[in-house]
Structure 1
Amino acid sequence: MAEDELETLPGVGPATADKLVDAGYDNYQSIAVASPGELSNQADIGDSTASDIINAAREAADVGGFETGETILERRQEIGKLSWQIDEVDDLLGGGMETQSITEVYGEFGAGKSQVTHQMAVNVQLPPEQGGLRGSAIFVDTEDTFRPERIDDMVRGLDDEILQATLDDREMEGSIDDEETMEALVADFLDRIHVAKAFNSDHQILLAEKAKELAGEHEDSEWPVRMVCVDSLTAHFRAEYVGRGELAERQQKLNKHLHDLMRIGDLYNTSILVTNQVASNPDSYFGDPTQPIGGNILGHTSTFRIYLRKSKGDKRIVRLVDAPNLADGEAVMRVQNEGLKPE
């Protein structure tokens, strides 16, 4: 949307329109879901003016009113399901990882959280007929976990049928048995993963805003952004805000960060995947003492919560802890050199 279209909103002149666009509010819908405080700070306008702008944008974008359940059901038909390429896990998740939702994967060190993020960055690019969403991925790396070599392994580890279908879908010539063809295919996969390293929590929050801009730029392209991954969501917040005295500020910033991510999912039909660290509860005498950090803020904001647990050898237990429309349950997968595989 051009600046002159934003100028049709009350109180928005050329200078304000420029500030709004620079801050990422480049369409009616993004303004409609903003808070007056956010808009006031970003565009240097009063709260009252910001409220008027938001209300006008809500009318123009037709958001903010009540809808019938049938209308919501129709809109949910647009939600994509991203396959894990493991039938048992996909069945557990009702078909795969949903777009317009936050999926949280938590577990102890070495449970395979980063392996999941890499595999999903590959799977999201597959044709829909092969369980993918034919989209690109954004990877916010907070713990220096992204490894292009793992993407190489996982692309080569895909089933031959999926590899051939992917070659055909991308109109690439050659055979999957040809090394040059496979190198070109791996490079094509890597080219559609946008990676940024976050150095602290403020930088991480900024990168979420940049991810929203990037998703907007690619919205009408051949490869729209269909997954945003943050690995890990909580590492910087946990390290920088230590002690009960800083807990409230930490949770407030984490809450804003999660809602920024959720907004990307809602606006651009994107799947949001975040990994989370765990802490051991010494007071737990029965059951698993491992608990995800982030408190109720993260627990309530995540649509799907998945607990990864180590088992024998390369086996991992995938436990669905919370989902709005699915029963809790467990599945088994293996973490191998070729990627995530069925038991």
Structure 2
Amino acid sequence: MPTASFRAESRAGSPPGDDLEEDEFVWDMVEELQTHGINAQDIAKLKALSSIPHRKEGICTVSGVRMTSRRNLLKIKGMSEAKVDKIKEASQKILGSSFQTGIQVSDKRKRVLQISSASKSVDNMLGGGFMSQSISEVYGEFRTGKTQLAHTLSVVAQLPPEMGGASGKVTYIDTEGTFRPDRIRAIADRFGVDPEQTLENITYARAYNSEHQAQAGIRFAEEKNFRLLIVDSIMALFRTDYSGRGELSERQQKLAQMLAKLSKLAEEFNVVVLLTNQVQADPGATMAFAPTVKPIGGHILSHASATRIMLRKGRGEERVAKLVDSPDRPESEGSYKLDEGGWADV
């Protein structure tokens, strides 16, 4: 059986013998700051885990430096205002101006990857598949295929682009204990790839509380070649850790912090971020054909998710995916079914 091969590229040390292709995503590793006068000790401080209080990840790229506020950089032990100013100035020289022309933005968008849902109807709805550099949220009632989608994408992401994949590895954060290796094997068999190698390319983390979940969501940045980050599901642990109405404000604040980090990672490392979400009854649904359920997480989650998809049961084995919100696609629907090979055409 064929196996997928992966390459990660950076200007600070590409694999020997590998030449960059024009359409490959390239990022500047934080070590590049040394070429602009930043010493290795200060770069090590930027990369160190927990170097910033209340922050559980280091800074691995020059873009990460730009995305980190001056205030947070000053919280790193041994970082003076002069050092932070010099680091910020160096990152500006490497990355250039924050302002870009529309053509430059268009060129950057050409780097966006798409991972197929394994359903042609849903892919057509999405304009090709789930996109990188942003967060996609999928919500629905039980047995609509949220976790099955996560398993399906875990395999498809490893396939080459001509098969709907992104030739990359996967990080899977499981908050409900529903990840099943045997499902991965069955889906890998469907696509004709080696099941054991497919499992080897999935980094799995079982999260038991919302803080652990937030930490696990960042750790994948320490590895290379990842193209998909899954959190299944995003709100399960937040609901149990912050159960009372009096804790709602704190819950939403912690959720907002985690989503901001995931959004930065999606853009910084050009990865697809997929969040599955639970639903609750919507007492305000008074219109005749209005949905009787709504996703949990409130406005914080709705604003963070660039793409939102609602799943519901159809007739018989059919399931329906409705594109509720998207920055570049109209509201529409697609159909799929669930079988041994994951999501599939009806």
State the TM-score, normalized to the length of structure 1.
0.83
State the secondary structure of the residue aligned to 2:286.
Answer: coil
- 1-side partners of 2:209 and 2:169: how far apart? 25
Contact kept in structure 2, 1:58 and 1:64, CA below 8 Å:
no
Matched, 1:154 2:157: no
Aligned pairs for 1:55-70 (under 5 A) are: 55-62=88-95, 65-70=98-103
Matched, 1:21 2:24: no
Contact kept in structure 1, 2:65 and 2:88, CA below 8 Å:
no
Report the CA distance shift for 1:272/1:3 in structure 2 as closer, same or farther (over 3 A): closer
Report the CA distance shift for 1:192/1:138 in structure 2 as closer, same or farther (over 3 A): same
Report the alpha carbon displacement of residue 267 of structure 1 after superposing the two structures with TM. 1.6
Which of the residues 297, 300, 304 maps onto 2:307?
304
- Match in the other structure for 1:201: 210
Q: Unaligned 5+ residue runs, structure 2? A: 1-11, 13-28, 50-57
Contact kept in structure 2, 1:141 and 1:232, CA below 8 Å:
yes
Report the CA distance shift for 1:298/1:51 in structure 2 as closer, same or farther (over 3 A): farther
Aligned pairs for 1:259-270 (under 5 A) are: 259-270=260-271
Q: After superposing the two structures, state which structure 1 stretch, 233-242 or 28-37, moved more.
A: 28-37
Deviations 1:134-184 (A, max 9, x none): 1111101111111101101111223xxxx2xx5xxxxxxxxxxxxxxxxxx
- Match in the other structure for 1:172: none
Deviations 1:171-226 (A, max 9, x none): xxxxxxxxxxxxxx100111111101111111111112212222xxx1xxxxx111
Deviations 1:289-326 (A, max 9, x none): 21111111111111110101122333211010000011
- Match in the other structure for 1:276: 277
Matched, 1:130 2:163: yes
- Match in the other structure for 2:126: 93
Which of the residues 53, 70, 91 maps onto 1:36?
70
AA of the residue aligned to 1:17: I
Report the alpha carbon displacement of residue 258 of structure 1 after superposing the two structures with TM. 1.1
Contact kept in structure 2, 1:111 and 1:309, CA below 8 Å:
yes
Contact kept in structure 2, 1:103 and 1:303, CA below 8 Å:
yes
- Match in the other structure for 1:243: 244
- Match in the other structure for 2:151: 118
Report the CA distance shift for 1:280/1:77 in structure 2 as closer, same or farther (over 3 A): same
State the secondary structure of the residue aligned to 2:333.
Answer: strand
Report the alpha carbon displacement of residue 27 of structure 1 after superposing the two structures with TM. 3.2
Which of the residues 322, 339, 343 maps onto 1:340?
343
- 2-side partners of 1:143 and 1:49: how far apart? 46
- 2-side partners of 1:234 and 1:20: how far apart? 30
- Match in the other structure for 2:255: 254
- 2-side partners of 1:29 and 1:315: how far apart? 43
AA of the residue aligned to 1:123: V
Report the alpha carbon displacement of residue 50 of structure 1 after superposing the two structures with TM. 7.1
Contact kept in structure 2, 1:31 and 1:57, CA below 8 Å:
no
Report the CA distance shift for 1:17/1:148 in structure 2 as closer, same or farther (over 3 A): same
Report the CA distance shift for 1:3/1:103 in structure 2 as closer, same or farther (over 3 A): closer
State the secondary structure of the residue aligned to 2:74.
Answer: helix
- 1-side partners of 2:164 and 2:30: how far apart? 39
Contact kept in structure 2, 1:282 and 1:289, CA below 8 Å:
yes
- 2-side partners of 1:312 and 1:276: how far apart? 23
Q: After superposing the two structures, state which structure 1 stretch, 69-78 or 30-39, moved more.
A: 30-39
Report the CA distance shift for 1:5/1:91 in structure 2 as closer, same or farther (over 3 A): closer
AA of the residue aligned to 2:220: A
AA of the residue aligned to 1:18: A
Contact kept in structure 2, 1:36 and 1:54, CA below 8 Å:
no
- 1-side partners of 2:161 and 2:80: how far apart? 44
Contact kept in structure 1, 2:242 and 2:251, CA below 8 Å:
yes
Q: Unaligned 5+ residue runs, structure 1? A: 167-184, 219-223
Report the alpha carbon displacement of residue 37 of structure 1 after superposing the two structures with TM. 3.6
Matched, 1:82 2:107: no
Report the alpha carbon displacement of residue 47 of structure 1 after superposing the two structures with TM. 7.8
State the secondary structure of the residue aligned to 2:127.
Answer: coil
Higher share of residues assigned helix: 1
AA of the residue aligned to 1:226: R
Contact kept in structure 1, 2:134 and 2:306, CA below 8 Å:
yes
Contact kept in structure 2, 1:319 and 1:330, CA below 8 Å:
yes
Contact kept in structure 2, 1:138 and 1:194, CA below 8 Å:
yes
AA of the residue aligned to 1:30: G
Contact kept in structure 2, 1:9 and 1:56, CA below 8 Å:
no
- 2-side partners of 1:147 and 1:234: how far apart? 20
**What CA RMSD, in Å, does the superposition of the two structures yield over aligned residues?**
2.2
- Match in the other structure for 2:24: none
Aligned pairs for 1:165-204 (under 5 A) are: 185-204=194-213
Report the alpha carbon displacement of residue 48 of structure 1 after superposing the two structures with TM. 3.9
Percent of pairs identical after alignment? Answer: 36
Matched, 1:317 2:326: no
